[in-house]
Structure formats: C-alpha cells, structure tokens
Amino acid sequence: MAVNRKFLTVPSPARPEPIQYLTENGFRIIRRCDVGESCPQGGTEHCFIVRDADGYELDITVVFDHHAAAQVIEQSMRRITFQSSFWICAAERHLAEYLWENDDYPPDALVMITELNIDDIDQARRWGTGWSRD
C-alpha cells in the first residue's frame, strides 16, 4: 500500500489546558498569559479571562497603581521586582475577591488596586524568603 506523503502531518504536543481559579460563587478565572503567548507575565498590569456560571465570558484587566506598586516593593525590602510572579498572583487574588464580594463583573472590565490589603503586605514581606513561592 502506498502512502501519500502530503497527508502526513507532524504531530505537535497537545497544549495543556490552562489552570482555572474557581470562586465560591461560580466565576472561573484564567490567566490570559496562560493561553496567549503575546501576553506578558510580569509587570503590574495583568489580563484575565473570566467566565460566570451562565457561561458569559469577559476579559478583565487588573492594575496596580504606582503608589500600591511602590508599597509592595518597599514591604518586600526590594526583593520583588516588576518581573516577579508576585504581581500576577496578587492581581488574581484581588480579582477573585472582587468577584466574590460583588457577584458581578467590575465596571469597564477593570480592577484598579490603589491600596494594599493585609494579605498583600504579608505576602510581600515573605516573598522570596522561603516562606512563599517565587
């Protein structure tokens, strides 16, 4: 039997499904950088795909303003740089808290972080010391 080579394909490895963060009230959060290679993983601005319990999906951006970013760097004794995974972890946590507290998407699909909460301060102080990941 002859094989027509133009129909042969080189198998490519399957891309793993992105991790979904599930809130208690049914929102699913996916990091945009986990599904799109063009999205940066560092910095103080992060994009997420959020899907509600009815299947409606929206892209939401979470941004640390300059004051909050400076607080993080100060609290971490400069261990946290703008390339640190701290920013996306904290942004994801703030987004999940917003969705839980408001049971709705944020206006303009934007969550602006202007002040740190106690979890941010605690995590910033411990980041990179062996008591947290990074």
Q: What is the 3-state secondary structure (H, E, C) of the chain?
A: CCCCHHHCCCCCCCCCCCCEEECCCCCEEEEHHHCCCCCCCCCCEEEEEEECCCCCEEEEEEEECHHHHHHHHHHCCCCCCCCCCHHHHHHHHHHHHHHHHHCCCCHHHEEEECCCCHHHHHHHHHCCCCCCCC
pLDDT at 132: 47
pLDDT at 40: 67
pLDDT at 112: 97
pLDDT at 4: 57
- C-alpha dist (Å) from residue 122 to 51, 82, 88, 118, 132: 29, 18, 16, 6, 10
The distance from CA 34 to its chain's CA centroid, rounded to whole angstroms, is 9
Nearest to residue 90, comparing CAs of 62, 128, 131, 132? 62
Whether the model clears a pTM of 0.85, i.e. scores above it, the answer is: no
pLDDT at 7: 55
Q: What is the pLDDT along the chain (134 residues), one digit of tens a residue?
A: 555 555 555 665 666 788 899 999 999 999 998 887 666 667 899 999 999 999 999 999 999 999 999 999 988 888 898 888 899 999 999 999 999 999 999 999 999 999 989 998 898 888 876 544 44
pLDDT at 9: 59
**Whole-angstrom distance between the N-terminal and C-terminal Cα of the chain?**
55
